[in-house]
Amino acid sequence: MLKITQFFETDVLVVGGGIAGLMAGIAARDQGADVIIAEKADTRRSGSGATGNDHFLCYIPEKHGDDPRLVLHEIADSMLGSNMDADIAMRFLNESFNVVKSWHEWGINMRLHDDWTFMGHAFPGRPRIFLKYDGHNQKAVLTREAKKRGARLLNHHPVLELIKDENGVAGALALDVSSPEPAFTLIRAKTVILATGSGNRLYPSTSTPGMLFNTGFCPGCTAAALALSWRIGARLVNMEIPFRHAGPRYFTRCGKATWIGMYRYPDGKPLGPFVTKATRELGDITGDVWNTSFTDLMCNGRGPAYMDCTQDAPEDLAFMREGMASEGLTSLIDYMDANSIDPGKHVVEFGQFEPFLIGRGVEIDINGQSTIPGLYAAGDVMGNFRADMGGAAVMGWISGKEVAAACANRSLISAERAESDAWLNERLAYYGSFYERKQGAGWKDANMALQQIMNDYAAVGPHRVRSGSLLSAGLEYLRQLREQAVAQLSTPCSHTLMRATEVLDLMDCGEAVIRAAMERKESRGLHQRADFTFTNPLLNNKFLEIWREDGAVRMNWRSKRQ
Ligand SMILES: Cc1cc2nc3c(=O)[nH]c(=O)nc-3n(C[C@H](O)[C@H](O)[C@H](O)COP(=O)(O)OP(=O)(O)OC[C@H]3O[C@@H](n4cnc5c(N)ncnc54)[C@H](O)[C@@H]3O)c2cc1C
């Protein structure tokens, strides 16, 4: 049987060393707490912010005026606004400028042309809320800052399970994948912050269904935080409301606001009414507002939809290219260069990417705490607030400060108690069995089968529908798939074992999505029901919570906090 070979204890365990996780670790260390950051890959280059980003949602009083509600209002109208509790958003806004200033001090250039410059994702005549910055070095800088403060970085350690006692969360079980031979690591902690990023690979890659890893966001982020929380009974929220991003078709890369161009029909007519010429300041917000346009045009035959930068001035094209490097789109630049694709001369076809989990997930309070005491969540895993990069940085920072304070009132589980925990020992045997099984099914088979089920039975719009009968069938197929996966998965090394655990996490998320979708008996956004084709006004401003309790799945509708 695979054994636990490493034992750690800490005040704060951060799960995931992306933007939110590193910021949480930095803030907790600044408050004097002992911190371990367990990261699946390597914090220097991991997660969706691995190679850079260039838009940071924030509130800067000298630019926006004294009332942060002005920015709140813009968030509500943006592609980020649907799942937002306003009290969390206000706390985020009020702390955001301090984080921006810290990043600038640490060496991430937040001041383009020596000023706080807001650009992109913007409507004409309305306040702009995305700070344009150069994030190409953000992961290296944040890793350095975390290390400088004495946070312990545990790279190549995906966390597989949380443990809890009567006081709430008590630590975690991680897999050491630093060598081909897997081993377990047990971390006892007073508090845990989940920051594992978005949930990808639940649905097939839209552009290239055969390629599991050609996804809009980081394909190594597989909603672990949601699955870990689900298994110990924390509440998830908004799971049934799907989201899809868009960008260059086939070459799946997010970052569409970095493009300074107009969305057009093939005959050159603009898709949207917002601008007649794309500028650095505004771009063309049509792609955010009419998120389904790229698919609609394929289905109604009027497409494809193109991103057209051919009318940009040379200096705007050069600025856009710099922005792409800040945004981490260097592989796209290399590809365009290698194939003589010049956005100044050639239009680029855009498409909608696969559904993924972001801004639907762990339900948190204003401090970032989940419904389990001592368990916090920050970044893309949050279910009731979403602000992507800015959200990860600022909410990571807030949760780090909060856990450090909370540690004063929390005690560490004893080693004996943790090691004899029945749940922990069951999970050790469970994960170990995949490695010990010498022949069986591979993780990719399980992942593709899961994607097939989600795509066919919990379909995401536009032009695809869900229904009670389809969702019920999907739930049953998912149950069968899980049973077969557990009985058949064989993972000959630490890497494949890690991949298999990702797929099992995604199955838990798939179950939560399907069950919540069954409960939402209406059509809203990309959740389209063939049997309830209308939007129910009684569900406006309502969030659906879902969690496991005493072996059963429970749900509750609650009001969104205004
Ligand atoms: C190309 C691209 C461009 C983007 N541009 C922008 C932009 O300009 N502005 C903006 O606001 N947003 C942008 N985003 C989104 C932004 O990058 C994310 O919102 C942000 O990185 C989220 O931070 P996070 O810390 O929540 O997750 P991530 O930064 O994705 O970090 C999650 C971390 O958790 C680790 N992990 C996962 N599972 C486990 C596990 N089980 N155990 C341990 N570790 C685990 C991962 O390896 C990863 O390091 C962009 C995304 C992409 C892909």
Size of the chain in residues: 562
d(CA 394, CA 98) in angstroms, rounded, equals 9
pLDDT score recorded for residue 558: 98
Greatest CA separation found in the chain? 71
d(CA 3, CA 432) in angstroms, rounded, equals 8
Q: How confident is the model at residue 562 (pLDDT cuts 50, 70, 90)?
A: confident
DSSP one-letter string for 205-226: -SS-TT-TT--SS-TT-B-HHH
β-partners of residue 236 are 362, 546
Ligand 1 site, residue 134, Cβ cutoff 6 A? no
- Ligand 1, atom 45, lies closest to the CA of 16
Pick the atom of ligand 1 nearest to 358's CA: 19
d(CA 132, CA 130) in angstroms, rounded, equals 6
d(CA 1, CA 403) in angstroms, rounded, equals 35
Pick the atom of ligand 1 nearest to 389's CA: 11
Give the tokens for residue 166: 């009567």
Ligand 1 site, residue 39, Cβ cutoff 6 A? yes
β-partners of residue 36 are 13, 152
Ligand 1 site, residue 79, Cβ cutoff 6 A? no
Ligand 1 site, residue 394, Cβ cutoff 6 A? no
Q: Are 252 and 299 in contact (CB under 8 A)?
A: no
Pick the atom of ligand 1 nearest to 253's CA: 1
Ligand 1 site, residue 402, Cβ cutoff 6 A? no
Ligand 1 site, residue 512, Cβ cutoff 6 A? no
Q: What's the rounded mean pLDDT across residues 412-416?
A: 98
- Ligand 1, atom 51, lies closest to the CA of 48
Mind listing the pLDDT tens digit for each residue in 54-105? 999 999 999 999 999 999 999 998 989 889 999 999 999 999 999 999 999 9
| Closest among 545, 399, 511 to 83, alpha carbons compared | 545
Q: What's the rounded mean pLDDT across residues 439-463?
A: 98
| Closest among 47, 50, 196 to 136, alpha carbons compared | 50
Give the tokens for residue 527: 């959740």
- CA–centroid distance, residue 276 to ligand 1 (Å): 33
- Ligand 1, atom 42, lies closest to the CA of 158
d(CA 138, CA 434) in angstroms, rounded, equals 37
Counting ligand 1 atoms within 8 A of each CB, the residue from 75, 96, 128, 196 with the most, and so the one to mutate, is: 196
- CA–centroid distance, residue 160 to ligand 1 (Å): 19
Ligand 1 site, residue 383, Cβ cutoff 6 A? no
Ligand 1 site, residue 393, Cβ cutoff 6 A? no
Give the tokens for residue 91: 């706390």
d(CA 49, CA 555) in angstroms, rounded, equals 33
Measured distance between the N- and C-terminal CA atoms of the chain, rounded to whole angstroms? 51
d(CA 129, CA 136) in angstroms, rounded, equals 20
C-alpha angle 222-26-178 in degrees, rounded to nearest 5: 45
Q: How many C-beta atoms surround the C-beta of residue 495 within 10 A? A: 14
Q: Is the pTM of this model over 0.85?
A: yes
pLDDT over 90 (residue 202): yes
pLDDT score recorded for residue 81: 86
pLDDT score recorded for residue 87: 97
Ligand 1 site, residue 80, Cβ cutoff 6 A? no
Q: Are 47 and 225 in contact (CB under 8 A)?
A: no
Beta strands in 106-229 (DSSP E): 130-132, 152-154, 159-165, 168-176, 183-194
Counting ligand 1 atoms within 8 A of each CB, the residue from 23, 44, 48, 226 with the most, and so the one to mutate, is: 48
pLDDT score recorded for residue 79: 87
d(CA 533, CA 519) in angstroms, rounded, equals 14
d(CA 460, CA 445) in angstroms, rounded, equals 22
Q: What's the rounded mean pLDDT across residues 452-471?
A: 98
* Secondary structure element (H or E) that encloses residue 7, with its range: strand 4-15
Mind listing the pLDDT tens digit for each residue in 226-256? 999 999 999 999 999 999 999 999 999 999 9
Measured CA to CA in angstroms, residue 483 lies from 250, 363, 547 at distances of 34, 28, 21
Looking at the chain, the whole-number percentage of residues with pLDDT higher than 90 is 98
Mind listing the pLDDT tens digit for each residue in 53-65? 999 999 999 999 9
Give the tokens for residue 489: 């998965």
Q: What's the rounded mean pLDDT across residues 293-321?
A: 97
pLDDT score recorded for residue 157: 98
What b-and-e string marks burial along 129-166, b requiring 16 or more CB atoms within 10 Å of the CB?
bbbbbbbbbbbebbbbbbbeeebbbbbbbbbbbbbbee
Q: How many C-beta atoms surround the C-beta of residue 28 within 10 A? A: 32
- CA–centroid distance, residue 300 to ligand 1 (Å): 34
pLDDT over 90 (residue 391): yes
DSSP one-letter string for 11-76: EEEEE--SHHHHHHHHHHHHTT--EEEE-SS-GGG-STTSS---EEE---HHHH-S-THHHHHHHH
Ligand 1 site, residue 20, Cβ cutoff 6 A? yes
Q: Are 98 and 137 in contact (CB under 8 A)?
A: no
pLDDT over 90 (residue 337): yes
pLDDT score recorded for residue 139: 98
User: Residue 424: what residue type?
Assistant: L
Ligand 1 site, residue 135, Cβ cutoff 6 A? no
Cα-trace Rg, the chain: 23
Domains observed in the chain: 54-134 (no CATH), 245-355 (3.90.700.10), 421-550 (1.20.58.100)
- Ligand 1, atom 1, lies closest to the CA of 254
* Secondary structure element (H or E) that encloses residue 482, with its range: helix 468-488
- CA–centroid distance, residue 265 to ligand 1 (Å): 32
Q: Are 52 and 136 in contact (CB under 8 A)?
A: yes
Ligand 1 site, residue 390, Cβ cutoff 6 A? yes
* Secondary structure element (H or E) that encloses residue 308, with its range: strand 305-308
- CA–centroid distance, residue 503 to ligand 1 (Å): 18
DSSP one-letter string for 316-359: HHHHHHHHHHHTT-HHHHHHHHHTT--TTT--EEEEEEEE-BSS
Ligand 1 site, residue 505, Cβ cutoff 6 A? no
- Ligand 1, atom 30, lies closest to the CA of 47
| Closest among 10, 17, 9, 33 to 402, alpha carbons compared | 33
Per the prediction, the chain carries an average pLDDT of 97
C-alpha angle 216-219-220 in degrees, rounded to nearest 5: 150
Q: What is the DSSP letter of 253?
A: -
- CA–centroid distance, residue 198 to ligand 1 (Å): 7
Mind listing the pLDDT tens digit for each residue in 416-449? 999 999 999 999 999 999 999 999 999 999 999 9
> In angstroms, how far is CA 25 from the centroid of its own chain?
18
pLDDT score recorded for residue 1: 79
How deeply is 425 buried, as exposed, middle or buried, from its count of CB atoms within 10 A (0-12, 13-18, 19+)? exposed
Q: Are 439 and 192 in contact (CB under 8 A)?
A: no
Counting ligand 1 atoms within 8 A of each CB, the residue from 184, 205, 330, 389 with the most, and so the one to mutate, is: 389
Contacts of 497 (CB under 8 A, 6+ apart): 175, 177, 182, 431, 434, 435, 491
Can you count the helices (H) and strands (E) in the chain? 16, 17
Q: How confident is the model at residue 483 (pLDDT cuts 50, 70, 90)?
A: very high
pLDDT over 90 (residue 266): yes
pLDDT score recorded for residue 446: 98
- CA–centroid distance, residue 238 to ligand 1 (Å): 19
